[in-house]
Every structure is written in C-alpha cells, then in structure tokens.
Amino acid sequence: MVVFPLILPTVAGTVLFLAAGRLDLPMVWAVLGVLTVFSVAIVVLCEPGLVRERVRPGPGNRDRFTSRLGTLLLAGHWIVTGLDVGRYQWSPVPLPLQIIGLLGYAAGLGALLWAMRVNPFYSSVVRIQTDRGHRPITTGPYRFVRHPGYTASIVCFFCGGLALGSWLGTALLAVFAAVFIRRTLLEDRLLMNELEGYADYARKVRYRLIPGLF
C-alpha cells in the first residue's frame, strides 16, 4: 500500500511528458501535484478496507467494460493532451481557464475524497460486497445524490482536462463521462435489485448524480 498513492500520478506524468517531449509545463505539474495529494489522502484518511478493495477488489465484478474502455480512453487523453500542449499546440486553453479548471479539479477531488471517507464500500468495480457487510450509505454527500463519487469524478474529468490545457484532450474525456453515466445506471440497478435497504434509500434520495435533474 505504500506505493499505491504514487502509481496513478507517476503513470499519468510519464505518458504526458513523453508525449509532450518536454518537462517545462507548469500546469501539468500542478495537476499531477493535486492528484498526488489526493492519492496520498485516500491512504491516510480512508479506512484500510476501502484501500484494499480499490487495489484488489473482491469477486463478483459486473462491469468489466468500464474499466477496460476507461483505461484506453484515459491513456488516449494523456497522449493527445501531451502532444497538444507540448509539441503542436493544436487547441490551447487560455491560462485563466486553466487556472479555473485546476481549482475545479481540486474541488472535485475533494468531493470524491469525502464520498470515499463516508462510504467504506466505494469499490473500483461494480459488485455487491457480501464479503464486507455491504449496506447502503446515507450520510455525507449521499444525502443529496445516490452516486456522489461519480458526480465528482465527472467534474474532475472536465476540469482536469481544462487545467492541463488541451481542448482536444478534454473532448476525449466527454466520452469517458458518458461511460461513467452508463456505469451509474448499471450500478444503481444492481444495488436496487440486490442490496438490502437500497430501494428504501432510493425512495428518499431520488436523484443519482445531479439533484433535481438526474
């Protein structure tokens, strides 16, 4: 678990900088710094069972499609963004918008961390965690929407893309967001059908991602 917080920032930074062909990209460093702080905070602030579940989830994954396609889309985003901001400047984002994006990215990760701290069952896969005493979570951000972590993740996709400085790279993340919306629907249906108490919770918290809308 010691190296877990460094894996994603290291992989992202390696791909981005190799694609860019240069290291003098302050906003890329800023995004990676925020991501590193978030990754360390998961290990420090969240319970060990959640960290283990995210690194090595238990059996019963019902959605391998999202993780496989998501990995390809994320890698493609890093490559296109690196080429854009480092070599070709195909679609530069103005610096003020990048800074706004960075602030939104940090806020989105903060909201995601809140969801993880409140929900010890926030897995990296879609499954019913009978081996961990899975139950509905109704506190924290789960008072407002049923999948606040996914809402925060979608905010991070767009804001992080802007912060990195590539409109093209951000456009790729729109596809990633659509994949996450599909996963939200799939997971919500699974929980409704198979997790005791979730249907009652869903009657009280009506919206999945956006209060008053969806």
pLDDT digits (tens, 9 = 90+) for 164-177: 999 999 998 888 88
Six-digit token pair at 8? 């994603």
Does the model's pTM come out above 0.95? no
CA proximity to 94, closest of 185, 195, 163: 163
Q: How confident is the model at residue 3, as a pLDDT?
A: 57
pLDDT at 2 over 80: no
Q: How confident is the model at residue 66, as a pLDDT?
A: 84
Estimate to the nearest angstrom the gap between the alpha carbon of 81 and the chain centroid: 18
pLDDT at 130 over 60: yes
Q: How confident is the model at residue 26, as a pLDDT?
A: 97
Q: Please, what's the b/e burial string for 53-62 (b: 16 or more CB within 10 A of its CB; e: otherwise)?
A: bbeebeeeee
**Mean pLDDT throughout 171-192?**
92
Measured distance CA(155)–CA(166) in Å, rounded: 16
Six-digit token pair at 155? 């905010």
DSSP code string of the chain: --SHHHHHHHHHHHHHHHHHT-S--HHHHHHHHHHHHHHHHHHHHS-HHHHHHHHS--S--S-HHHHHHHHHHHHHHHHHHHHIIIII-SSBPPHHHHHHHHHHHHHHHHHHHHHHHH-TT--SS----GGGT-----SGGGGT-S-HHHHHHHHHHHHHHHHHTBHHHHHHHHHHHHHHHHHHHHHHHHHHHHSTTHHHHHHHS--SSSTTT-
pLDDT digits (tens, 9 = 90+) for 71-109: 899 999 999 999 999 999 999 999 999 999 999 999 999
Q: How confident is the model at residue 32, as a pLDDT?
A: 97
Measured distance CA(104)–CA(110) in Å, rounded: 10
Band (9; pLDDT cuts 50, 70, 90) = very high
Q: How confident is the model at residue 112, as a pLDDT?
A: 97
Number of other CB atoms surrounding residue 196 within 10 Å: 11
